[in-house]
Amino acid sequence: MRCIQFTDPHIGMPGDDTFDVDVRANFQKVLAAIANENADHVILTGDLCFREPRPEIYNWVHEAIADSGLDIRIIPGNHDDQHMMGEIFGMSPTDEREIYSIQDLGGKRCLLLDTGAGQMSEPQWSWMLEALAQASDPLLIFMHHPPVLCDVPYMDRKHSFTQMARFQARVQELERPVHVFCGHYHVDRTVSFGNLHVHVTPSTFFQINPGNPEFEVDHYRIGYRRIFVTEGSVITSVVYLD
């Protein structure tokens, strides 16, 4: 199974000051590159909107995806609104305003979680624990926030997932590898914590300087992640676009 993951496009409204980055052109550039990958599945892991979620932004993204011909599964990020997404992309948020699901990707049951609030509701936790017991090996999870610290001080200190310890404890109970694919941090990272392997994919907007404890743009190269899953192995790498 070959998957592509991309994340954090942060599409703004016309006239928004997006650090002089043409985020819409970036998004279409990434879609064009992904279309040439011949992937079995494509997942967009949140933060479709620049700062505030707007129906106009989701409509633009929906049309851009339709024009690309790609079948893309989408989960929310912290800059998204689940009800707006649900209406435009045909998804159904839960009573807790979350969108999560199990997807059969290449014969493997993969979990798509909703950490848009920086945490998960109790119903989502219960659902996840049941799903973990039924998923295939190796287990794949897609979510917006990394469930580990990533040595990116600005993000670790101010914008991290608030239920890391709980998530890590549940995964450690499983006697098999768990691979998490996420975004949010605007860096390229792989962090292993016991049987938990977290792959952070760079944004299609800009990347954050991991050496500065305060916010600073590191560079403007954009990328996406290739994921190749065979029986018992996961091979992944980041592709940067010039």
Q: What is the mean pLDDT of residues 96-110?
A: 90
Q: Does the pLDDT of residue 135 top 80, yes or no?
A: no
138: confidence class by pLDDT, cuts 50, 70, 90: confident
pLDDT at 232: 78
Q: 3-class DSSP state for residue 68?
A: helix
Q: What confidence score (pLDDT) does residue 231 get?
A: 81
Q: What angle do CA 10, 11, 12 make, to 5 degrees?
A: 110
**In this model, does residue 147 exceed pLDDT 70?**
yes
Could you read off the pLDDT of 176-193 as tens digits, one per residue?
899 999 999 999 999 999
Q: How far is CA 214 from the centre of its chain?
A: 23
**Are the beta carbons of 57 and 49 closer than 8 angstroms?**
yes
pTM (two decimals): 0.97
Residue 136 pLDDT level (bands cut at 50, 70, 90): low
Mean per-residue pLDDT, 24-37: 98
Average pLDDT, the chain: 95
pLDDT over 90 at 175, yes or no? no
SS3 state of residue 44: strand
Quickly state the pLDDT bin for 49 (edges 50, 70, 90): very high
- The yes-or-no verdict on residue 117 having pLDDT over 80 is yes
Which residue bears the tokens 């599964």? 73
